[in-house]
Structure 1
């Protein structure tokens, strides 16, 4: 664990945390990729290498969320997402590693090989799974779960919002900003003019807003929207950032920052027809990155890099130092997925997602 946030906090004793990841994640300069994108001064922070069990941006959040669940003596954790959700898979894997049972509300999304691989890996964690018909139905189920938690102050379950987007979860990316400050000070990269990140549930961007302000990083934060506006909008992200800052203030952080929607920059035009729907721009970005040694997924990171390419002229990114925060898991889960037996370990409602595959 990079203890930068903990060093900053006057009152660290009550902050929930479990060590899950491998930090700091490396920062690398990508000259060839930057030249291809038209952003010649490009760096990549490889948060895909954040954990040995599973990587990506969810590990930082789960360190605090699962720590909070254990402090409350919970035995199960509830969360939700699309059937191919990286957040759901990360939660299942790390919850089991902490002796917590994962319980999941899933909604359908376009079925790809990546979605099937994630479902196979999820099936190996013996989760309780509930499949609802749509993302709005999943949101309604989340409201019900939160109401249950409010009515019963000491339930056995712990609710994690989609993407881990809660004030507790965002502490992971407050901490990431302090980690980045340390890397800048060590000369691993210059302070970026712009930091680019995917915006799905909005939690990563919200945590970075708070963390960069506290760590005195002056970079502009640029979020590329890859999901629906219900979650990925500037008003909600500003509110989440303010709630995260309030939580830190409760732990003694002086001059806790506050944010308005105008402080949140979100780039539109790259989500396509909806969450998980593949766009031509994302396919091109994925091929471009692969040629330069960086693997992207078509739901989040490829759309983010497509947004970076599309914004280079509008924001003069070809004249600036840009840091792309790579949030896609880089830990190989193929052996786990191949060993799974989804026909036995997934409910009947899920079997249609494997239709047409060889037995």
Structure 2
């Protein structure tokens, strides 16, 4: 397995940053020739969907640092959460099982679709513990309760992974990715792209690319496409994450150059979100269809479809430009599909709306259109 670019560039970080190799890196950097011809631009893709033989995507890069920290702390239980169709919780369960750890996953509502159901069913055989919590306030309360419960049960602190794995350690995964992109461009004799597009949910992937681009002296514009509400994804938050991670690296290795980013420097596009998180938009649906039809590249409408829609609009407005798309979606999951009856009963209406279960979701009572259990989004 190849040495990570972050350690090649800053050798003093070796042994100081927790790290365990999990991903198949470097991931391919390939041209999208048919899509380029169709749109009239030079479009490339960084295929992080192939980062792991079982379940790829952007989380595996982050987990190389986070799970190393989990093992160092000798935690036995990992607590995390996300939307009902969360790729993050699924990836967490995959890697937790790899190390014999218990994944405790808490879920909030999002608009239903076949992908959501499929992700839940693929998580079932992995031995995860499932908890439905309705909305964001419920998610926070669920995290607190599950942490205390497992602390008492095991007499050992569980390890909490922020949704999206967007902690300082997780961000290092995409600092490394930006350094990797620069190394690939140089080795292939390619010019730097005009712009690099990536979906922005919990902001860690985007923050890592921004910091990594600074450290790699990569001049491309890094454009984040917002797929969550502004309270979760915003310029000030991203700049803060970049600066905190840069300071963390410098405390370990003074050879890392100082980086200080202002919120105004962050290019975060918010006009592709649509009605909200996980709500498909016509632009995202068209982008998913086009990438699949012309390139055989599987995307989805929550994250990568919206980011691709932004790239395509930019390409049309700027013909002939070289652009790079960072694909964060797991392309070829090699996972068994389980039976939804093995899930807690609160999840059953996701698969069969005839099941009626009580729900104490505050947001669902205040905004009935938010609640899929009331049939508004089925």
Q: TM-score, normalised by structure 1?
A: 0.91
Report 1:198-213 matches (<5 A): 198-213=199-214
Q: What are structure 2's unaligned runs of at least 5 residues? A: 355-378
Shift of residue 31, structure 1, vs aligned partner: 2.3
Aligned residues: CA RMSD: 2.2
What is the CA deviation profile of residues 300-339 of structure 1, one whole-angstrom value per residue up to 9, with x for unaligned ones? 11111111223346xx532421111011101234x511xx
Residue number among 352, 357, 372 corresponding to 1:355 in the alignment:
352
Shift of residue 139, structure 1, vs aligned partner: 4.2
Alignment match, 2:339: 341
- Whether the 8 Å contact between 2:199 and 2:303 is mirrored in structure 1 is yes
- Whether the 8 Å contact between 1:142 and 1:161 is mirrored in structure 2 is no
- Whether the 8 Å contact between 2:79 and 2:143 is mirrored in structure 1 is no
Q: Secondary structure, in 3 states, of the residue corresponding to 1:322? A: strand
Q: Which range is displaced more, 195-204 or 28-37?
A: 28-37
Alignment match, 1:218: 219
What is the CA deviation profile of residues 253-305 of structure 1, one whole-angstrom value per residue up to 9, with x for unaligned ones? 43221111112101111111111111111111111111112111111111111
The whole-number CA distance in structure 2 between the counterparts of 1:324 and 1:304 is 8
Alignment match, 1:286: 288
Alignment match, 1:101: 102
Alignment match, 1:305: 308
- Whether the 8 Å contact between 2:239 and 2:261 is mirrored in structure 1 is yes
- Whether the 8 Å contact between 1:76 and 1:101 is mirrored in structure 2 is yes
Shift of residue 93, structure 1, vs aligned partner: 0.5
Report 1:167-206 matches (<5 A): 167-187=168-188, 189-206=190-207
Q: What are structure 1's unaligned runs of at least 5 residues? A: none
Q: Secondary structure, in 3 states, of the residue corresponding to 2:97? A: helix
The whole-number CA distance in structure 2 between the counterparts of 1:176 and 1:168 is 13
Number of aligned residues: 346
The whole-number CA distance in structure 2 between the counterparts of 1:273 and 1:90 is 26
Alignment match, 1:19: 21
**Which protein shows a greater Rg?**
2
Residue number among 258, 264, 268 corresponding to 1:262 in the alignment:
264
Alignment match, 1:133: 134
The whole-number CA distance in structure 2 between the counterparts of 1:301 and 1:317 is 21
Q: Secondary structure, in 3 states, of the residue corresponding to 2:253? A: coil
The whole-number CA distance in structure 2 between the counterparts of 1:159 and 1:188 is 42
The whole-number CA distance in structure 2 between the counterparts of 1:211 and 1:43 is 19
What is the CA deviation profile of residues 142-179 of structure 1, one whole-angstrom value per residue up to 9, with x for unaligned ones? 57789999xxxx95211111111111001100111111
Q: Secondary structure, in 3 states, of the residue corresponding to 1:336? A: coil
Q: Secondary structure, in 3 states, of the residue corresponding to 1:132? A: strand
Q: Secondary structure, in 3 states, of the residue corresponding to 2:188? A: coil
